[in-house]
Amino acid sequence: MKEKKVFHDHVKNRNKLTLAIHDFDSYEGGVGDRNTIKILNIDGVNVNIKAFKIPNIFNQIAYRFFRKSKAERSFEYAKKLIELGIGTPKPLAFFEYNTLLLFKKSFYLSEQQDCDLTYRELITDLNYPNHETILRAFTRFTYLLHEKGVQFLDHSPGNTLIKKNGDNYDFYLVDLNRMNFGKLDFETRIKNFSRLTMYKSMVEIMSDEYAKCTGEDRQLIFNLMWKSTLLFQKKYQNRMRLKKKLKFWKKNANA
């Protein structure tokens, strides 16, 4: 297979990073269902290596000839976010492997970002210390994204790392391969909150803080945000029920 590798300009230890990719399967550990993440210490730096699952045959053709891979998009979007002053783990490189006609494996490498929690902890523990303070700070961070023209399409609970910084909180986006950049209209901004929580109390806080940021009517924002949240939850539950049925049918078919 043909190897394509692109490094960030600041990266010096390129040979060691390349060796880490070549030996990726030999390293123990790794987390993830569809994609696999392993953290390796290279020259005293913890490097996060995300190996993307080989796509289906249709996407193998699409990524080979027509679309940028998830690894390349993650790399480019990380650089763009940093240019905009938005937190994300420092990008290091991406690797791709192709045959003559098909796209196969890809990897995205970044520095491992330490954090104290993710947004997910705010959902699983509504009594988390400083819960409302963190939630309001997160809402202001999301407003900053919108003001800078960033639509994070995977703005969901596990994709924002949160680091306590004195009395403040810093936020870092991960899982970057789906983003749009450009001016966002009001409806798009509000819908960007729809994947974050099922709890009305959290939507009330986020809508209140977003109203303070924008100067728009708080009740209007809450109504739109809660409506889009309920719509997403309905679609999500329908997908889960369908997935459960498909597993049931597949199990019986193989019995």
Tokens of 129: 């210390």
Per residue in 63-104, pLDDT (tens digit) is 999 999 999 999 999 999 999 999 999 999 999 999 999 999
Cα–Cα distances in angstroms (integers) from residue 66 to residues 6, 52, 85, 102, in the given order: 19, 18, 30, 11
Single-letter amino acid, residue 144: L
CATH of the domain at 42: 3.30.200
Print the domain residue range for 162: 117-237
- Beta pairing partners, 46: 41
Read off the pLDDT of each residue in 186-192 and give the average, rounded to a whole number: 97
- Let me know whether 102 and 55 are in one domain: yes
Q: Which of 56, 85, 111 represents a domain boundary (last residue)?
A: 111
Q: How far apart are CA 109 and CA 72, in angstroms?
A: 10
- Let me know whether 92 and 127 are in one domain: no
Angle at alpha carbon of residue 251, lines to 245 and 255, rounded to 5°:
145
Beta strand spans in the chain (E): 2-7, 36-42, 45-52, 91-98, 103-111, 117-118, 150-152, 160-165, 168-173, 179-181
Which residue in the block uniquely carries the two structure tokens 């939630």? Answer: 135
Instruction: Decide if 249 is inside a domain.
Output: no
Instruction: Decide if 65 is inside a domain.
Output: yes
Tokens of 30: 């790794």
Instruction: Decide if 255 is inside a domain.
Output: no
Judged against a pLDDT cut of 60, whether residue 226 lies above it is answered with yes
Single-letter amino acid, residue 22: H
Whether the CB-CB separation of 41 and 111 falls below 8 Å is answered with: no
Q: What is the dihedral of CA 228, 234, 236, 237, to 10 degrees?
A: 160
- Let me know whether 233 and 123 are in one domain: yes
User: Quick one: pLDDT at residue 243?
Assistant: 72
Which residue in the block uniquely carries the two structure tokens 């009305």? Answer: 200
- Number of domains, the chain: 2
Judged against a pLDDT cut of 90, whether residue 28 lies above it is answered with no
